[in-house]
């Protein structure tokens, strides 16, 4: 062998490629989990990632992979990571990317794609699509990497974009030819770096803090509203100190439940309507005045209410109404400054205000006290969830994933949470198909038991992930509340073609057989006692379990607590007791987070 041949051989042996540079860049930044559905051209990304120590969780649908990664982002505060193939797989992954951005959760989506020259010339490549430009409207930021040397940079930029300010979804486009490019391994190693301070504090000015606290001091009937942004901020003790030092009642959006335990004496959840209608100064902590809070106006709010709003995004201020005291900054820094101010100039709400809320809560609780403990068979959502509540009350560290209409709303109202970031549901965008992937993300991230509670309709969106749960032997107990339909199972076909109603599903379905088919444990429950027994057994086992609960087909209300969003037709009668349900829920005004 000549000297030239020896040099060429040594150079070839020292080369690495885009696959390896990508994986090493992720590891350098402590991104040690990856969810995905793989194929051309990213199969080897997952293989190499697994070989290098990144835990790869393969799901059955790209949307589920994205939602599992987003759940990790919410729980940990660092970006979750998911991987899809090109074109159709990429498009399936856009829904959770958008949802994470709406929720304010950090997540990074990576997708394989076609070579630039083929896309730009429209030559008809396999699964060809200009994915970068499709991703931009659905994400907080989107990047394409065309040179192997830029892979460490694109990973760093994606992390910073996902975490800085209001968190969100970031897209990285990975053309197949970029992944196949080679580079000297020593040069590549020198390009790797870890992002420095990816989520810098944004500290509000002292005069803004003073203005907000001076407004709070004028309140006769204050209210503190906690949103999932407050839970994401991971400054739990500071928030607890703020709430308790003011003596003000608080309300928690569904994924803020557990930030303070739901049995806290200042929790006004059972008097939500009265509290909102009478509160004169409201402090919004990580909650937005969007559709879930009637945009801060209308009959559900005191017409003279004044808002103090903490938000890291200045464009959120005055988004739907005038904000008297805007505080633009991160929640941890802001709440810390609120506490410092109150230590020097204490404020405490009039005890009579809290006493009135307690009285209204006791009255409302008495009205529904028997519903969750009734032994009615067939079961309702209330007593089936009441049975699950007995299990969660004895196991505070269990995570809850939840989706559906009545299954979602009633679970939020019935099952108490005791620890922060332990409840995950459909969130700001209000979509279905999140329950099982959120459960998978929570189980993979924490290793703790998860109870995933679904309506029978909602389960249809992500039910094949039962196989994923069994394949990875995750500690998830899936509960199906089966009332035989969308909202409920007693709707009739208004025509005469003999088909089921558009809202009718299989009331006698044995969903638990799906879990058994993949090696898990399945139970069929007809009574509250059986529900409690089987759910408790699933949680204790730490193994894949499913409990199918047989509910009355009459249990449930159309659209749960958000019926007002579903317009009524101008003509044509409503079926059964639907008219009464619509009227009741328009008055009720409860909303989901």
The domain that holds 383 is classified in CATH as 3.40.50.970
Give the bridge partners for 224, in sequence order.
Answer: 250, 283
Measuring CA to CA, how many Å separate 40 from each of 5, 111, 293?
34, 10, 44
Show contacts of 358-364: CB within 8 Å, 24+ apart.
Answer: 358/265, 358/271, 360/270, 360/271, 360/274, 361/268, 361/269, 361/270, 361/271, 362/270, 364/270, 364/271
Q: How big is the CA angle at 482 (ends 480 and 485), to the nearest 5 degrees?
A: 130
- Judge if 176 and 32 occupy the same domain: yes
DSSP 214-278: HHHHT-SSEEEEE-HHHHHTT-HHHHHHHHHHHT--EEE-GGGTTSS-TT-TTB-GGGHHHHHHH
Whether omega for the bond prior to residue 341 falls within 30 degrees of 0, making it cis, is no
For residue 205, how many other CB atoms are within 10 A of its CB?
A: 12
Cα(48)–Cα(34) distance, integer angstroms: 12
20 phi/psi in degrees, rounded to 5: -70, -40
What is the full DSSP assignment across 86-133? Answer: STHHHHHHHHHHHHHHHHT--EEEEEEE--HHHHHTT---TT---HHH
Give the CA count within 13 Å in the CB-facing half-sphere of 254.
26
Residue 22 sits in the same domain as residue 170: yes
Together in a domain, 417 and 559: yes
Q: Is the peptide bond before 447 cis (omega within 30 degrees of 0)?
A: no
| pLDDT score for 575 | 39
320 falls within a domain: yes
Contact at 8 Å (CB) between 423 and 447? no
Q: Determine the pLDDT at residue 590.
A: 37
- 348 and 449 inside one domain: no
- CA atoms in the 13 A half-sphere facing the CB of 155: 28
Question: 198 lies in a domain?
Answer: no
> Do the Cβ atoms of 437 and 484 come closer than 8 Å?
no
Which residues of the chain carry a pLDDT beneath 50?
Answer: 1-11, 572-593
Secondary structure class of 465 (helix, strand, coil): helix
One domain, residues 296 and 394: no
Tokens of 100: 């994470």
Examine residue 5 and state whether it is found in any structural domain, yes or no.
no
Q: Are residues 181 and 221 in the same domain?
A: no
Count other C-beta atoms under 10 Å from residue 7's C-beta. 10
Q: Based on the domain organization, do 181 and 234 belong to the same domain? A: no
Residues 233 and 276 in one domain: yes
State the DSSP code for 470.
H
Could you say which DSSP state residue 407 is in? Answer: H
- The tokens of 105 are what? 């959760």
pTM: 0.92
Residue 35 sits in which domain range? 14-191
What's the confidence (pLDDT) of residue 368?
80
Which two three-digit tokens encode residue 31?
């991104």
Q: Does the residue 101 lie in any domain?
A: yes
Question: For the chain, what is the domain count?
Answer: 3
Q: What is the pLDDT of residue 584?
A: 35
Same domain flag for 309 and 169: no
- pLDDT for 12 equals 57
| Residue ending a domain, choose from 363, 380, 406 | 363
Distance between CA atoms of residues 558 and 547, nearest Å:
24
340 and 437 both lie in a single domain: no
Query: Would the CA dihedral through 528, 532, 538, 544 be positive or negative?
Result: positive
Q: What is the model's pLDDT at position 562?
A: 64
The reply to whether 398 and 504 lie within a common domain is yes
Give yes or no: residues 305 and 180 share one domain. Answer: no
593 inside domain: no
Q: CA separation (Å) from 224 to 240, 363, 443?
A: 11, 22, 31
Q: Tell me which DSSP letter residue 376 carries.
A: -
- At residue 434, what are phi and psi to the nearest 5 degrees? -110, -15
- CB-based contact 302:280 (threshold 8 Å): yes
Residue 7 lies in a domain: no
What pLDDT sits at residue 294? 87
In the sheet where 545-550 sits, what is the strand order?
423-424, 399-403, 450-455, 476-482, 545-550, 521-525
pLDDT at 3: 40
The answer to whether 400 and 264 are in contact (CB under 8 A) is: no
State the DSSP string of 36-86: E---TTTHHHHHHHHHHTPEEEE-SSHHHHHHHHHHHHHHHSS-EEEEE-S
Integer angstrom CA distances of residue 498 from 238, 276, 492, 493, 502 = 60, 47, 10, 8, 12
For residue 580, what pLDDT is reported?
Answer: 35
What letter does residue 489 receive in the DSSP assignment? Answer: S
Provide the 3-class DSSP secondary structure of residue 304.
coil
* Distance in angstroms (rounded) separating the CA atoms of residues 95 and 433: 10
List Cβ neighbours of 570 (8 Å cut-off, separation of 6 or more): none
Q: Does some domain include residue 6? A: no
* Residue 368: both structure tokens together: 């529904």
Instruction: Please say which residue of 363, 386, 409 terminates a domain.
Output: 363
Question: Strand pairing partners for 564?
Answer: none
Residue 299 CB-density burial (10 A; 0-12 exposed, 13-18 middle, 19+ buried): exposed
Within 10 Å of residue 265's Cβ, how many Cβ atoms?
Answer: 10
Q: What is the pLDDT of residues 553-572, one digit of tens each?
A: 999 988 666 665 666 666 54
Rounded distance between C-alpha atoms, residue 485 and residue 458, angstroms: 10
CA distance 257 to 234: 13
User: Does 138 fall in a domain?
Assistant: yes
Give the max Cα distance, the chain. 94
- Structural tokens at position 196: 């420095």
CATH of the domain at 273: 3.40.50.1220
Closest CA to 129 of 89, 99, 97, 158: 89
End-to-end CA distance of the chain: 70
Cβ atoms within 10 A of the Cβ of 250, count? Answer: 25
Which of 191, 221, 237 is at the close of a domain?
A: 191
């Amino acid at each position: 062998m000549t000297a030239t041949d020896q040099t060429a051989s040594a150079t070839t042996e020292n080369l690495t490629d885009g696959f390896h540079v990508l994986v090493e860049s992720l590891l350098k930044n402590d991104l040690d989990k990856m969810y995905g559905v793989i194929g051309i051209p990213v199969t080897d990304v997952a293989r190499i990632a697994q070989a290098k120590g990144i835990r790869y969780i393969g799901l059955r649908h790209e949307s589920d992979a994205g939602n599992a990664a987003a759940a990790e982002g919410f729980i940990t505060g660092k970006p979750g990571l998911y991987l899809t193939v090109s074109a159709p797989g990429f498009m399936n992954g856009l829904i959770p990317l958008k949802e994470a951005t709406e929720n304010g959760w950090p997540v990074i989506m990576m997708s394989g794609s076609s070579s630039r020259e083929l896309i730009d010339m429209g030559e008809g490549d396999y699964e060809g699509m200009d994915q970068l430009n499709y991703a931009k409207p659905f994400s907080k930021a989107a990047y394409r990497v065309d040179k192997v040397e830029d892979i460490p940079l694109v990973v760093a930029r994606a992390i910073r974009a996902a975490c800085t300010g209001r968190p969100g979804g970031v897209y990285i486009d990975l053309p197949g030819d970029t992944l196949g490019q080679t580079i000297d391994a020593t040069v590549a190693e020198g390009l790797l770096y870890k992002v420095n301070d990816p989520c810098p504090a944004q500290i509000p000015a002292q005069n803004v803090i003073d203005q907000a606290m001076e407004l709070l001091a004028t309140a006769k009937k204050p209210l503190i509203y906690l949103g999932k942004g407050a839970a994401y901020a991971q400054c739990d003790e500071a928030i607890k100190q703020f709430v308790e030092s003011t003596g003000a009642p608080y309300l928690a959006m569904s994924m803020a439940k557990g930030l303070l335990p739901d049995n806290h004496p200042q929790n006004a959840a059972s008097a939500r309507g009265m509290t909102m209608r009478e509160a004169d100064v409201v402090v919004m902590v990580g909650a937005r005045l969007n559709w879930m809070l009637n945009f801060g106006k209308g009959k559900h709010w005191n017409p003279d209410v004044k808002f103090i709003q903490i938000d890291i995004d200045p464009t959120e201020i005055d988004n739907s109404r005038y904000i008297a005291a805007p505080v633009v900054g991160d929640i941890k820094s802001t709440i810390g400054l609120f506490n410092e101010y109150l230590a020097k100039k204490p404020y405490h709400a009039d005890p009579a205000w809290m006493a009135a809320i307690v009285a209204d809560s006791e009255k409302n609780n008495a009205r529904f006290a028997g519903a969750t403990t009734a032994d009615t068979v067939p079961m309702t959502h209330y007593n089936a969830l009441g049975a699950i509540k007995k299990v969660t009350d004895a196991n505070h560290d269990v995570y809850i994933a939840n989706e559906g209409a009545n299954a979602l709303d009633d679970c939020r109202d019935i099952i108490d949470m005791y620890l922060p970031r332990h409840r995950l549901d459909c969130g700001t965008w209000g979509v279905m198909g999140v329950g099982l992937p959120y459960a998978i993300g929570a189980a993979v991230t924490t290793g703790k038991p998860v109870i995933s509670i679904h309506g029978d309709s909602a389960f249809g969106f992500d039910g094949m992930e039962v196989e994923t749960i069994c394949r990875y032997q995750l500690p998830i107990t899936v509960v199906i509340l089966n009332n035989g339909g969308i909202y409920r199972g007693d709707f009739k076909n208004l025509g005469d073609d003999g088909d089921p109603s558009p809202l009718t599903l299989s009331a006698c379905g044995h969903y638990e057989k799906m879990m058994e088919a993949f090696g898990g444990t399945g139970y069929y429950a007809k009574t509250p006692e059986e529900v409690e027994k089987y759910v408790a057994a699933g949680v204790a086992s730490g193994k894949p379990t499913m409990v199918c609960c047989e509910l009355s087909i009459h249990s449930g209300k159309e659209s749960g607590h958000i019926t007002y969003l579903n317009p009524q037709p101008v003509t044509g009668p409503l079926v059964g007791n639907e008219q009464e349900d619509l009227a009741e829920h328009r008055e009720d005004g409860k909303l989901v987070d």
